[in-house]
A and B are shown apart, each in its own frame.
Chain A
């Protein structure tokens, strides 16, 4: 029977579990019927260990619910980053790591593998039952560190000489790390750098700060890597809603990040359909970089052109591969002291244009691939929408029905209006 550890080997498993705890906080032990109860207990215990102060418990007739609740305006650093610092390792890994960097303590120290092995034995001779590292283990570890960029090598005749990589001479970057570790893609890397800083000063706070994307950092980094190399990738796309997985072969073109719902989508070319499509980054896993494609620049340019018709992440083509757009326009009334509403229209619109009809009426007009993506935004103008037309009549009908439903829901009768 394996014993419990707060460290894990495979992050992918926990990625899903954490999302369940964070996004759907209402699940109890019984809801995790797919997994054994022991596995549930271990996973919950790990989460408590990593995110203790943010875990909450509620008892109800269905049992005890465990969930994660975080006010990210109060937390200065993304608590989920901790979960990416819980990779398991062997006793040999950690011992070898610190001894190797003690031996290669400066970039001036250059040693061959036999010399390193000899020195390792000296370090270990201080212990009663010294570990034994054979040549192949140490060579493998050095190779791993060369790939990570922390060890360099050079050939000298038949010998391979190793040394620690030099670190660029950077000034104090604490402010940069405090800020960008929270707002830049793959911010957890900034958090790794912050861990090495002695100074813990932090002058920044964040509002409208979505933190779940931390769990997708590994996937995102690989997608960026693929874009830098202009590569095709293969990936597994698992819909959490239908619980089905599909293998994809796509060309990643650009990541679309939302700061209004925290979701991240990959816009990618899918040769199978000869179309650019969007994929939720949190649904992607098993990313593998394949061969570079000469079409990358052309496909990315195509996406850039399409962006002038995209409100969100949806791209629509008809069967002849022509982009098909939908027309939308709505007018709002603006009182004399409500200039901020016009400002809202101007700064919140992503495409389209705003025109003044008269002193108290403004019209927004756009042509987009999917008008339904705009509905939540249009609803934020409820209280002043005087007219509305969509070329997609079904969506317009639904919008009007929804407003009627809201009147009923809140008991608003004709006479009150």
Chain B
């Protein structure tokens, strides 16, 4: 159903090579770049040689092709059904796209067929017209390379005005929230979309000096017990970070690198494993855990 050669990287690369050849572009360097960009590390050893040798009879040895049209393929039923399923999601309204051309297509799945059971309950208000408009404005600004002017409510409930460069929109599946990553406005780096109360494209003359934000990283080492299937649970739980595990004497050592702004969340995530995971490094991170435990001890549970 999904694992099919018509979706393969090789077919995509060949389609783009034929397009180039039809346009008279037969420069081997360029054709190999197409292969590199569209296929895998060693595909250069196969794709162009197979075409040139006539193993795949689509390009003649003189680098012309008997094909007359730019290769295209209609959407497969699976692709249409997936798009139809996506069109049923409430967040699709944020993208201002009319998918009525898919009327009559059976969705691959419906919201009844799955549940994200552990996402937080206070996700963004996807039905709110104002939120949808502000989201669209941010997206337009990013597409057209424009700056924006925001009015937002800070954590302390104050109204804040900001002019900034929208760098990217970050979505957290766990929080079910969008955040806008910005630059050029000093103290404000990441803004929860739901905290934005007004958003306009900024057409003023002030030049916003900006550099894309760079993430700072923190490294920790955890001692992971062999008991209660902890290694698998731990490796899956922290799967989305850069990490490395190694066997040690009767346990595993897990090295994790995460962005510094995730530190408070990482502390409680490590705590959630109880005594089956122990922090070995860093000293700073270990102290954060210790502080929590000391506070717990004072609760006299």
Q: Interface residues, chain A, CB within 8 Å of chain B?
A: 5-7, 11, 22-26, 45, 48-50, 52, 56, 58, 60, 62, 65, 67, 69-74, 82, 84-89, 91, 93-95, 97-99, 101-102, 105, 122-124, 126-131, 148-150, 164-173, 175-176, 179-180, 182-186, 188-190, 192-193, 195-196, 201, 203-212, 217-218, 221-222, 224-225, 227-228, 240-241, 254-263, 300, 307, 310, 312-313, 333, 343, 346-350, 375-377, 379-380, 382-388, 400, 402-403, 405-407, 409-410, 412, 414, 416-417
Contacts and interface: CB of A to CB of B under 8 A. Distances in A.
Interface string B115-140: 11111111000000000000000010
B161 interface: no
Contact of B143 (A173, A193, A201): A201
B245 A94 contact: no
A406 B268 contact: no
A45 B42 CA distance: 10
B298 A417 contact: yes
Contacts of B71: 98, 101-102
A39 to B, nearest CB: 18
B272 A380 contact: yes
Contacts, number: 400
8 contacts: A150-B74, A167-B75, A207-B179, A259-B173, A380-B268, A383-B296, A410-B289, A416-B297
Nearest to B104: A168
Given A221-B1, A382-B293, A417-B294, 14 more contacts: A5-B46, A25-B245, A49-B40, A71-B240, A82-B9, A127-B60, A149-B75, A165-B74, A176-B95, A222-B1, A224-B113, A241-B229, A258-B117, A376-B274
Contacts of B46: 5-6
Contact of B271 (A170, A204, A382): A382
Contacts of A209: 173, 240
Given A49-B41, A347-B121, A382-B292, A375 B257 contact: no
Nearest to A128: B54
B143 A203 contact: yes
B301 A403 contact: yes
Given A84-B7, A173-B97, A221 B108 contact: yes
A94 B10 contact: yes
Interface string B12-30: 1011001000000000000
A333 B242 CA distance: 35
